[in-house]
Structure 1
């Protein structure tokens, strides 16, 4: 904005500053000044002499005067002239007080005059207007809260953005006062903002609140329960307890909300350590449950609100369909079939393609031929034994159908190679790309040993639920190390890209490392497992079906998990990953069939996602292709933690389906974490400001009130 101050002298007002007093300055040096004077005198003398010699006429005088002016201009240029303007503040200077209101400020560890209060209560006491009254007499004091502009349910602290936003919003800024615990968890490091503020001449005065020492506390850190369970079958609920108490704690972990008697387990948590364990609960009725896992409050704990976790779980009747395809009835096949047949939640069918028989094996539960696509896609898991491509094996089309079962129908496929080496013929079929490992085709019949080999869990295997034979990590490792050995294994060279090796041979290696024995991967919407030894039936020694049945039971349920999330008569809805997290993409998949039982090729399939807060988002699922057998897929990002309601609908068939999805929330703000005053001290140092403790805030206020007026700023025009 332009305004005239007096007479013809006008000034410009820009962002609260008044631009006035235009003047010129020279960047001269003593040498340049002396040289300029000497040249000026010499030039003047030459001009006078020339004027006299030229008859002292007016024309010669004008010419010499012009020459003298040019000499003067050259000398002025030699001394680097610069036209400048003085800039004076035209508004009252400001001091912005930023105070943290994030979740970590609820921590009760701020001690002022022997009174322990929350960090937020301490900060609230420091932003009272009377505290800053001495400063308010000389400048405008503005109080602003900060945390993070995040979606609902995903809080955090973005200190860097808060600093830059305050500096951009306010003019005439004399400094920023930051009252915080220094715990930032969103955005760039605060030092990035401090570097920019230093260039702009804006100092940061920080007041850290909270203790740098961790509070004595007992935390129920996590409970990793499945999304759904099966009525009549035990549900295993692993949990983790973290102790920040100096002594060991003996306590009872209790599971309530079971519509029956609470489930309790006594545990001992080491001081300043962690405990991993698990509870087992056997639901008797179907329905939606909200379980509560809790531990009692121990003596010396500061917090009581982190001793409980809510666990949503859906319980339903189980009807898993499993198909076992084998050539010879070897021991692994017999014990596997026997174990699955005794499982009341599993319906087992078998297809025995014996190489010496013209007809397939028959009897109870046996199929006369490989099922057609419509019947095949009803199976949740297929075990493919020592079977290949050929006259007494699978056809090329049947291999393609198995691939479709996995990739588009969320089915599971287990490869169980055998000593006949028939699976090596699958290398030239469509099933080859599903294999989690690369086979050594030069050793089709695998390798036998005289000394028993053993399974060695990898790091991924130690964490996987598939290889969890005991709840405790140490005990689970002991069980695997003590399992009876095997005397044959398939000649796998290495794992394929994207596969996860869960167990290797304990002693045999290839050029790529230890021989992979158990490997898993996802393919499309389904899952694939490779078991490189047929000696798992030996695990029954001394313990009967305990570990053999537990392992294969976990495999079947792990593979059928997504497929059975929610299923209607003509639509199936499932999602990936199994345990979605707030802020991460989730893939929604729907298999839709027409009224005639054919897969829907094209159509309008939508899913309405209702968040715990009530916010609704509609996701349109797109057809995955002509060969995808009615598969529609789409992605969305849940922004909140908690129970989502997913309502799927298809306009062409009129099918509707509803299911629940538990989303793990992002717990960025951890109440009870130590404060980080080092972060605040660093940004104060970088901006030439000051960091002071809560007890010395009045001294800081006095120093800010005594700051001199800012000197006028000289800017070039």
Structure 2
């Protein structure tokens, strides 16, 4: 087709020059032929093909988040089975889901967010995603990095923004793919986070048992915490508390022991739910096993023995003796 068009163009230009004559017409028709030849050459899409032999096999890095935020339990496997993000990710790693790539590329699985990495960068409990991407980009043993696949809950709370590190990899034609693990928002839950009882108490004295409750609910909750004893209902006490929406409460129970010995005590927070089971508006906590904590406490009598040495009897002695008895 291009040859036919070119032949027609040359014939038309030649005929026009023969009919009109003159150097100006010859130059104009020559320019027309050259322009048409360049257009037809471009339409033919000329390409120069060069074959480059790549000696290094492509490499893919899978970054696995093992930071403390991965211990959050919000991955639902069924109606009642809830596991941590870390447990779910570990099960996925065991399946070797990257097997399809092994014939085409070398796959490296690397953890990030562990304590050793945090110690090197001065992180306490933070997750520095940008640092993990930058370390991957600058690793000397990666000669032909083609892609980075990150498995994380996305809880970036330390270091530079991850977007900057991803853009640097993108500038080197290394795409970063991500898979988010866990829920993107806190699940509705009441958590008895901590109980800090003393190791022992004295008979006849009040024992203070501090505790902390956290709420992941959008509304304030009025409830009560109850302390029960392994020795029966006689040692049980309760206290009313109000937990603000998405807040926490630091409080304490005052427990009076009645007998000597070792106690097994359980502090319980009632499960939160609204509506009736089976109805559309029925809701309850996602986790039902974080509303109680059991601990041990010893109740005993402390005796102070005092040796008093006097060089001669004094009249104050009998009052001191009565005070120590």
Task: Please show how residues 186-197 of structure 1 align to structure 2 within 5 Å.
Answer: 189=159, 191=161
Residue 463 of structure 1 corresponds to which residue in structure 2?
none
Are 1:238 and 1:277, in contact at CA under 8 Å, matched by a contact in 2?
yes
For 1:232, what is the secondary structure of its paired residue?
A: coil
Which stretches in structure 1 are left out of the alignment for 5+ residues?
Answer: 1-86, 322-346, 350-359, 368-717
Q: Which residue of 56, 75, 81 corresponds with 1:91? A: 56
Q: Which residue of 118, 130, 146 corresponds with 1:174? A: 146
Q: Which residue of 271, 288, 303 corresponds with 1:319? A: 303
Task: Please show how residues 38-437 of structure 1 align to structure 2 within 5 Å.
Answer: 89-102=54-67, 104-109=69-74, 119-120=85-86, 123=89, 128-129=95-96, 133=100, 135-136=101-102, 138-149=104-115, 159=128, 163=133, 166=136, 168=139, 170-183=142-155, 189=159, 191=161, 198=168, 201=172, 204-257=176-229, 259-261=231-233, 262-272=235-245, 273-287=247-261, 289-299=263-273, 300-319=284-303, 362=316, 364-366=318-320
Instruction: State the Cα deviation string for residues 487-534 of structure 1 (Å, max 9, x = none).
Output: xxxxxxxxxxxxxxxxxxxxxxxxxxxxxxxxxxxxxxxxxxxxxxxx
Task: Please show how residues 535-554 of structure 1 align to structure 2 within 5 Å.
Answer: none
Distance 2:57 2:80 in 1: 38
Distance 2:76 2:320 in 1: 74
- Counterparts in 2 of 1:289 and 1:175: CA distance versus 1, 3 Å: farther
For 1:198, what is the secondary structure of its paired residue?
A: helix
1:178 deviates by: 1.0
Distance 2:222 2:216 in 1: 14
1:258 deviates by: 5.0
- Counterparts in 2 of 1:115 and 1:92: CA distance versus 1, 3 Å: farther
For 1:305, what is the secondary structure of its paired residue?
A: coil
Are 1:92 and 1:140, in contact at CA under 8 Å, matched by a contact in 2?
yes
- Counterparts in 2 of 1:290 and 1:117: CA distance versus 1, 3 Å: closer
1:217 deviates by: 0.8
1:211 deviates by: 2.9
Superposed CA RMSD: 4.6
Which stretches in structure 2 are left out of the alignment for 5+ residues?
Answer: 1-51, 117-123, 274-283, 309-313
Distance 2:258 2:237 in 1: 17
Are 2:133 and 2:165, in contact at CA under 8 Å, matched by a contact in 1?
no
Are 2:112 and 2:132, in contact at CA under 8 Å, matched by a contact in 1?
yes
Are 2:127 and 2:155, in contact at CA under 8 Å, matched by a contact in 1?
no
Are 1:216 and 1:302, in contact at CA under 8 Å, matched by a contact in 2?
yes
For 2:70, what is the secondary structure of its paired residue?
A: helix
Instruction: State the Cα deviation string for residues 238-270 of structure 1 (Å, max 9, x = none).
Output: 223222224454544232455443423042434
Are 2:239 and 2:253, in contact at CA under 8 Å, matched by a contact in 1?
no
Task: Please show how residues 13-32 of structure 1 align to structure 2 within 5 Å.
Answer: none
Residue 512 of structure 1 corresponds to which residue in structure 2?
none
Distance 1:269 1:91 in 2: 63
1:285 deviates by: 4.7
Distance 1:255 1:212 in 2: 34
For 1:219, what is the secondary structure of its paired residue?
A: strand
Are 2:229 and 2:263, in contact at CA under 8 Å, matched by a contact in 1?
yes
For 1:296, what is the secondary structure of its paired residue?
A: coil
Task: Please show how residues 386-535 of structure 1 align to structure 2 within 5 Å.
Answer: none
Distance 2:218 2:58 in 1: 51
TM-score w.r.t. the length of structure 2 is: 0.55
Are 2:227 and 2:266, in contact at CA under 8 Å, matched by a contact in 1?
yes
- Counterparts in 2 of 1:366 and 1:108: CA distance versus 1, 3 Å: closer
1:312 deviates by: 4.3
